Amino acid sequence: MKKPFAFGAMLLLTTNLVAPAAFAQDSAPAPAAPPAIEPAQTEEEVEISTPGADASEGGEIVVIGRNIPNVIRATPQVVSVLSAEDIARTGEGDIAGALTRVTGMSVVGNGFVFVRGLGDRYSSALLNGSPLPSPEPLRRTVPLDIFPTSVVGSALVQKTYSVNYPAEFGGGVINLTTKAIPKEGFVSLGGSVTFDTETTSEYGYAYQGGSNDWGGYDDGTRAVPAFIKDVGLNGAQIPANQVAQLTNTPTTIMQGNYHIPANFSGEFSLGQRFNAGDVQFGIVASAGISNSWRTRDVLQQDSNDETGILRSDYRTIITDNRAVVNGLVGLGAEFGDQTIRWTNVYIHDTVKQARGASATLYPNSSGFERFNQTTAWFERELFESQLVGEFKWNDLSLDVRGAYAKTKRDSPYERSFVSRYDTTVNGWVNALNSSTEQASIAFSELDEELWSGQADLSYKLNTSFPVRLSAGYYYQDQTRSSSRFSFAYRYEPGGALPLGYRYLRPDLLLTPSVLQATNSQLGGCPNGLCLVLDNISGGQGAAVYDAGLTIHAGYVQADIEPIDGVKATFGVRYEKADEFVSTNVAGAGTVLDNAYWLPAATVTWNFAQNMQLRLHGSKTIARPQFRELAPQFYQDFDSDRLFFGNPALVDSQLYNAEARYEWFFGRNERVTAAGFFKKIKNPIEQVSAFPTLDSRITTGFSYVPEAQLYGGEVELQKHFPLDTLGGDFFATRRLVLVANYTYTKSKITADATLVPDINAGPGGIVLRPANLLYRDGAPLTGQSDHLINFQLGIEDTESTSQLTVLVNYASERVTARGASNASGVGFLPDVYEKPGLRLDVVARQAVKVFDGEIELKFEARNLTKTKYQEFQTFASGKTVYVNRYDQGRTFSLGASVKF
């Protein structure tokens, strides 16, 4: 059980407590008089909507072996697919968690999926084939943990590049397909409750906030006055009479809670299909809400010494209350071979965070206890509306799609108070006059809009062997505006607060009556000017920035089968992009105007019964993200790190090669093995630095001349029928074994090539040799050498009855670069994360009730009770734990009823 801080508790005790067509809609023609397929073996239809695909394509190629799935037949690329049933088997509540079961996939941080060790900079996320903007300032793609599995019909991961996709492709592209026209009408209602052994009914922190916080929506409590923006852009100071207008107690007072609530979720969905003449119409709608708590009792240390001597040593308790609301409405129409769908997705994701950190060891420590109190509200929202048309006339296919997406992230009232324990009076003191006695407040806002459109045309030629020609055009216009205004509380006459006020609780110090009393006591601060807010936004880089990305692209592609069993797909994409970032700091902007010819080719050889070999080569790019270019500080609430952009970054170019063997020895059974290699020119990597010996570490961005990544992966999926054991129970049951392993190795090249330094400051560019910023031969950030996924379960082939054991392992990976040594020679060790081994158990059981069905689900997660560890290991043998905390076992019980 967690205990509150000895000193922090004393402070708290004074308070009261489908684009082109879906891949698998039409299967390839079977050979004449094929053997009958048992019902248990019938392949599950997987609905996939992605650009440039043609469902009929698989039928034009002679494929030896009926066990090769329709999705694999329909695409020449290397793909992994999670069907709705696969997602349900994992039991994960969001799609990011479900994707960790795919070969070569891992999740780093808050829902950001890495493909083969390459982060979201080298990957992209699509919804029904259209791009999604990200509400996260540090990320190019949307965090996939905000997508509940209930709204996702399938998830496709394509690991080799094809020219119908956008050029930003490195590790892979993740395409989520939402549920569209249902096979039959249904109504479903469900809910769940989750208990976390480290959080539920344990000690944590909370603050009042507003009355609607439980749902993730602010009720106006955190409304931002207009003078915040006015002073943030043009002023130097906010006087006390305006300081008094800010919401105080609900956003300031942090309380201890000895009984953090359990997590809950609920969802409702419905679907209907009906006919009007020759046209079939369908509607799918769903809505869901969840509220979860997570408390982390964290050991946070740092060192700027080559031998690992600690500079600070904090015990930090962080409590996150996360509320997610989601909704989906999809309308569809099918007439003949034509399909039109209109999909609308809404996701609202909020984290309400309370944090308390206590230490006696910190920079310039006087030996007194220091307590840092932080309250914050991070509200993210995504909306996308998409219209897709899929048309086919004999040998001609046309796919058109258009989408509008909007994301936003609001973080008002990020409050921080730093107090010192005064042993002479046995109380906490904050005189607002030193690094150990201070207070600040920040307001940040991000808005982004993305318009996109694509048209794909394909035509089957009447030749002696199968030939299909394709061409397409793509347009994207993306704009972002971001602001962050930071202010520090200061006593206007200078020096320390008057003696009677420096011992006040933070919320009492900021009440209008106390402000007026302070002014009256001194008599020399007319018009409420004594306790003010100094604008420190300029000292933290650009207060605001605007950014944009406009893309025009076109491609041509040919699919041919010159001889039976050998298929070649080759094409080229031309993509021109204009990217800019402009700020309120002179000379700190960026303009990138680049165009690329990007070829790709894949050869597939179906050389034996149910076996095939694929060879692939391509060139792709990766652009710097808006946030990496903007010289503005950003505090990441998950890692508790401070980031700063660099306007001198450039595009990265990737050269990709892969060979893959696939053997489909039974329905939904396979063995695959692959090897891959990537060379990256100018890959963007993090750089860490201590701006001063006393300041906290800051992470910026630069690039190295080159990086290489290579590896291999193997996968096995096998079913074992149990009917031979006899009895009715085993008659329709089987064991399901799914296992995969990925080995990845990477290294960066850091030589004397000049690259932009991160310490140039706003408006300036300073070049330094890469080997003074990076350690030559170090691995890429976020890359694990070993990834292992294992699933063993028993399931009923004729009804919903499953029990699955899931094991996931990821080896150590770099999460942050070690800063340069104070001597200027060498580096501190890189920061590594140790994900370790996790064991989960998921059980699902359906019970028929009248005309409906009740499904019960039980989940037990992290049964190994794996700790979170982020650390540096020094040559002296000392280990510094940047973040270390226990992760609880979670137990969830849910039920849903469907009619």
191-223 pLDDT, tens digit per residue, is 999 999 999 999 999 999 999 999 999 999 999
d(CA 241, CA 226): 14
Q: Which residue has the tokens 């592609």?
A: 557
pLDDT tens by residue, 80-124: 777 777 776 665 555 666 676 677 766 655 556 667 767 667 777
* DSSP structure string for 515-570: HHHHHHHHS--GGG-SEEEEE-SGGGB-SEEEEEEEEEEEEEEEEEEEETTEEEEE
Percent of the chain residues topping a pLDDT of 90: 53
Range in 25-39, 236-250, 281-295 the model is least confident about: 25-39
CA distances from 570 to 77, 164, 455, 611 (A): 11, 11, 19, 22
User: CA quadruple 176, 181, 183, 189: dihedral positive or negative?
Assistant: positive
d(CA 164, CA 207): 49
pLDDT tens by residue, 332-381: 999 888 889 899 989 899 999 999 999 999 887 778 899 999 999 999 99
Burial of residue 854 (CB within 10 Å: 0-12, 13-18, 19+) is middle
d(CA 854, CA 857): 10
pLDDT tens by residue, 593-633: 999 999 999 999 999 888 999 999 999 999 998 888 888 88
Of 645, 550, 529, 597, nearest to 244 (Cα)? 529
Cα angle value 280/286/291 (rounded, 5°):
170
Q: Please list, in sequence order, all residues whose beta carbon lies within 8 angstroms of the beta carbon of residue 613, skipping any fewer than 6 positions away.
A: 604, 605, 607, 659, 660, 661, 662
Q: Please list, in sequence order, all residues whose beta carbon lies within 8 angstroms of the beta carbon of residue 499, skipping any fewer than 6 positions away.
A: none
d(CA 647, CA 250): 38
What are residue 393's DSSP bridge partners? 396
d(CA 242, CA 839): 53
Residue 754 has pLDDT above 80, yes or no: yes
Q: Comparing 45 with 602, which gets the higher pLDDT?
A: 602
User: CA quadruple 169, 636, 870, 366: dihedral positive or negative?
Assistant: positive
Residue 11 has pLDDT above 80, yes or no: no
Of 643, 786, 774, nearest to 707 (Cα)? 774
For 520, the token pair is 């009256």
Q: Which residue has the tokens 């046309």?
A: 398
Q: What is the pLDDT of residue 501?
A: 83
Say if CB 498 and CB 433 are below 8 A apart: no
The residue count of the chain comes to 899
> How much is the CA Rg of the chain, to the nearest whole Å?
29
d(CA 876, CA 308): 7
Phi and psi torsions of 604, nearest 5° = -115, 125
Distance of CA 246 to the CA centre of its chain: 33
Burial of residue 842 (CB within 10 Å: 0-12, 13-18, 19+) is buried
What are residue 795's DSSP bridge partners? 734, 802
d(CA 83, CA 203): 40
Q: What is the pLDDT of residue 8?
A: 45
Range in 59-73, 424-438, 487-501, 858-872 the model is least confident about: 59-73
Give first-to-last CA distance, the chain, whole Å.
43
What is the average per-residue pLDDT within 240-266? 92
Say if CB 129 and CB 343 are below 8 A apart: no
Q: What is the pLDDT of residue 10?
A: 42
What is the average per-residue pLDDT within 564-570? 93
Q: Which residue has the tokens 């003949």?
A: 336
Of 424, 629, 651, nearest to 542 (Cα)? 629
Q: What is the pLDDT of residue 239?
A: 85
Query: Count of alpha carbons within 13 Å of 206, Cβ hemisphere only?
Result: 21
Q: Please list, in sequence order, all residues whose beta carbon lies within 8 angstroms of the beta carbon of residue 294, skipping any fewer than 6 positions away.
A: 196, 199, 319, 320, 322
Residue type, 195: F
Q: Please list, in sequence order, all residues whose beta carbon lies within 8 angstroms of the beta carbon of residue 393, skipping any fewer than 6 positions away.
A: 337
Q: What is the pLDDT of residue 824?
A: 73
Given this structure, which CATH class describes domain 6-33+47-256+292-898? mainly beta
Long-range contacts of 249-252 (CB under 8 A, 24+ apart): 249/208, 249/507, 249/511, 250/207, 250/208, 250/209, 250/210, 250/221, 251/207, 251/208, 251/209, 251/221, 251/222, 251/375, 251/377, 251/413, 251/415, 252/207, 252/375, 252/415, 252/417, 252/506, 252/507, 252/510
pLDDT tens by residue, 685-721: 999 888 777 778 888 999 999 999 999 999 999 999 9
Which pairing describes strands 438-460 and 186-196: parallel, antiparallel, or unpaired?
unpaired
Which pairing describes strands 172-178 and 123-127: parallel, antiparallel, or unpaired?
parallel
Of 741, 830, 746, nearest to 786 (Cα)? 741
Of 73, 82, 229, nearest to 152 (Cα)? 82
508: which DSSP letter?
H
What is the average per-residue pLDDT within 797-823? 88
Burial of residue 195 (CB within 10 Å: 0-12, 13-18, 19+) is middle
d(CA 520, CA 522): 5
Q: What is the pLDDT of residue 185?
A: 85
Q: Please list, in sequence order, all residues whose beta carbon lies within 8 angstroms of the beta carbon of residue 58, skipping any fewer than 6 positions away.
A: 27, 28, 70, 73, 74
Q: Please list, in sequence order, all residues whose beta carbon lies within 8 angstroms of the beta carbon of residue 60, skipping any fewer than 6 positions away.
A: 460, 466, 468, 561
pLDDT tens by residue, 535-555: 998 765 678 999 999 999 999
For 832, the token pair is 């590594």
Residue type, 217: Y
Residue 386 has pLDDT above 90, yes or no: yes
Q: Comparing 67 with 793, which gets the higher pLDDT?
A: 793
CA distances from 496 to 224, 233, 257, 426 (A): 28, 28, 32, 19
What is the average per-residue pLDDT within 619-648? 85
816: which DSSP letter?
E
What is the average per-residue pLDDT within 515-536? 64
Q: What is the pLDDT of residue 96?
A: 65
Range in 10-14, 258-262, 516-520, 746-750 the model is least confident about: 10-14
**Mean pLDDT score across all residues of the chain:** 85
Say if CB 872 and CB 832 are below 8 A apart: yes
* DSSP structure string for 22-53: -GGGSPPPPPSSPPPPPGGGPPPP-----TT-
pLDDT tens by residue, 129-160: 888 776 665 666 666 655 656 667 778 888 89
pTM of the model: 0.88
What is the average per-residue pLDDT within 276-283? 90
What is the average per-residue pLDDT within 256-265? 96
Of 193, 347, 172, 177, nearest to 261 (Cα)? 193
Of 393, 390, 399, nearest to 455 (Cα)? 399
Which region, left, alpha or beta, applies to residue 523 given φ > 0 means left and ψ of -120 to 50 means alpha? left
Burial of residue 76 (CB within 10 Å: 0-12, 13-18, 19+) is buried
d(CA 368, CA 374): 20
